[in-house]
Each structure stands twice: as structure tokens, then as C-alpha cells.
Amino acid sequence: MKKLFVLLVPMLFLLAACASKYPQEEVDRFAKCLTENKVVMYGTFWCPKCAKQKKMFGTSFQYIQYIECDPRGENEQSELCIEKKVEKYPDWEFIDESRMVGILSFEELSEKSGCPAPVKEE
């Protein structure tokens, strides 16, 4: 029984990971729409929550308007972050100038931006 449990647990995690997969084209479309709708993510290269948020987008993150707030980071725009009073990361800014801090789900970003959220594969 113990052997069966040891085999089943990793399988369940694998199935759960597969079940929550978004088609890459859908995530690309969503990321492009966010940028078209003037959604901006402020963050830093060392921020663990920013890393998680970026990982949600995978390779589609290249389409996100991202502002690096640490002066040591690549393509940094720390003066803009100071001007915008960015204090916690990730900090998302929307076209109406409202902001939300933290890791946002695709659904939350969709609601605030008007962009259709990606649909999970079945």
C-alpha cells in the first residue's frame, strides 16, 4: 500500500499541473492585450513575487510592459518608480491609473483591463 501511495502522489501532482495549463497562444494574446490596454507591471529582478508573476506568463511575459524599479537591474527605470510611488512589488497599474499590488491571477488582470483571460486546456 505504501508503494502505491508513493507512486500515486507524484502522479496526482503531475495531473494537476497538466490540468492547469494554458495554451501558449492564449497567454500570448492576453499579454499583448494587456500592453495594448496600457497595463504596466512594476517590479524588481530580486522580488520573489515578481518571479512567480512572470512564471505565470512564461515566455509570454516578453509582451508585458514591465518596469524594473531597482537601479541595479537591467533597463532600470527607478526614477519613474519613485515618481509613481511604487513601494511594493509586483505593482500593476491600469489605464485608469488605479493600481493593484501582489501576484494577480489572469482573471483579476482580465477584470481590471478588459482583456479576455486565457482559457485552460482540458
pTM over 0.85: no
pLDDT in tens, the chain (122 residues): 555 334 444 443 433 444 458 999 999 999 999 999 999 999 999 999 999 999 999 999 999 999 999 999 999 999 999 999 999 999 999 999 999 999 999 999 999 999 999 998 87
Please name the residues in contact with 76: beta carbons below 8 A apart, sequence gap of 6 or more: 68, 69, 70
Report the C-alpha gap between 89 and 47 in whole angstroms. 7
Going from N- to C-terminal start, the domains of the chain cover 22-113
22-113 topology per CATH: Glutaredoxin (3.40.30)
User: Rounded CA gap, 27 and 59, in Å?
Assistant: 9
Return the pLDDT at 5: 39
pLDDT at site 2:
54
Strands 40-43 and 91-93: antiparallel
Q: What is the pLDDT of residue 7?
A: 42
Burial of 90 (0-12, 13-18, 19+ CB in 10 A): buried
Per the CB < 8 A criterion, the answer to whether 92 and 111 are in contact is no
